[in-house]
A and B are shown apart, each in its own frame.
Chain A
Amino acid sequence: AQSVTQPDIHITVSEGASLELRCNYSYGATPYLFWYVQSPGQGLQLLLKYFSGDTLVQGIKGFEAEFKRSQSSFNLRKPSVHWSDAAEYFCAVGGPGGYQKVTFGTGTKLQVIP
């Protein structure tokens, strides 16, 4: 069964510092990988996704993620965090062809301090 692990429940970083949110997945074939962000009181928004090709994926709001098959990881990074990045971040995995269910991790809540 497919699964996603986000080992960090809560992370605090200073504004301007770099950020890395961890995501490990379990999937029996080539995965489709996603990062979503949920700001307070807001719906879920897609940050980026990986299907194939270049393993370093660029997303919106200056985020990027790197797919590492050998480590079953898809960590999210940002070189310089802004206060508006404070939100909850969800990693997700799905199957190819868009005909498999998408499973989400439990989320990582990001706090940004001045």
Chain B
Amino acid sequence: GAGVSQSPSNKVTEKGKDVELRCDPISGHTALYWYRQSLGQGLEFLIYFQGNSAPDKSGLPSDRFSAERTGGSVSTLTIQRTQQEDSAVYLCATVDRGDSGNTIYFGEGSWLTVV
């Protein structure tokens, strides 16, 4: 597609349930990020995939969070046993590593509400 696509755009889930958030990157972009933006907060780095290298998971807030990227393309962020503090916008971004440098392109985000 033309841009980074995320689904679902909105998700309301009950506390304790698991959720999966999906990201379809821009074709040809080998690097992919997940960020979290809570109400009134900045962008919190979660995880970074670059090609076939081991992902940088240093931003994942707890072991309830995990992410994978299959075939270097689609990525899924999974939150297990959701808590109310997980409510946030989860942003996926991919990177153009062309001559102009690593410009990040963001998706519209998945708005997660845990009730």
Residues of A within 8 A of B (CB): 6, 32, 34, 36, 43-44, 46, 49, 51, 90, 92, 94, 97-99, 101-107
Known: A99-B50, A101-B45, A107-B43. A46 touches B104 (CB 8 A): yes
Tell whether, in the assembled complex, residue A44 and residue B103 are in contact, meaning their CB atoms are under 8 Å apart.
no
Interface centre among A32, A99, A103 (most CB of B within 10 A): A99
Tell whether, in the assembled complex, residue B106 and residue A44 are in contact, meaning their CB atoms are under 8 Å apart.
yes
Residues of B within 8 A of A (CB): 31, 33, 35, 41-43, 45, 48, 50, 56, 91, 93, 95, 97, 101-104, 106-109
Tell whether, in the assembled complex, residue B97 and residue A90 are in contact, meaning their CB atoms are under 8 Å apart.
no
For A92, list chain B residues within 8 Å (CB).
Answer: 104
Known: A44-B91, A101-B33, A101-B56. A107 touches B102 (CB 8 A): no
State how many angstroms separate the Cβ of B11 from the closest Cβ of chain A: 18
